[in-house]
Amino acid sequence: MSRYFTYILELSDQTYYIGYTNNLWQRLSAHNEGRGAKRTRGRSPVLLKYYESFSSKSEAMKREAALKRLTREGKKMLIEGAHFSILELK
């Protein structure tokens, strides 16, 4: 069963970037190496602040769209309420 992730990154300029992927570690590395989204290039290092896991790509994409509609304050509240361990991703 494939897993898909919706995630929030904090960029070096303290802005947030939201995306989805099927390989969170690989995508995070790509963002930090300048191979990620155009918006994250030149704003590294990026820090993973929040993620959610889904069983389908369409669910992850819908959640990505919903998170993008949140205000900055809403995103910050979501991040501050998140309690996850990096070990959960392995």
Q: Tokens standing for 42?
A: 């030149």
pLDDT score, position 39: 87
pLDDT score, position 90: 45
d(C-alpha 68, C-alpha 49), whole Å: 15
Exposure of 61 in the CB half-sphere (CA atoms within 13 A): 3
Rounded to two decimals, the pTM is 0.87
Exposure of 89 in the CB half-sphere (CA atoms within 13 A): 19
pLDDT tens readout for residues 31-85 = 999 888 888 888 889 999 999 999 999 999 999 999 999 999 999 999 988 766 5
Question: What dihedral angle (degrees, nearest 10) is formed by the CA atoms of 14, 51, 84, 39?
Answer: -20
End-to-end CA distance of the chain: 15
56 by DSSP, 3-state: which?
coil
Topology given in CATH for the domain delimited by 4-89? GIY-YIG endonuclease (3.40.1440)
Please state the domain extents for the chain.
Answer: 4-89
pLDDT score, position 24: 94
17: pLDDT strictly greater than 60: yes
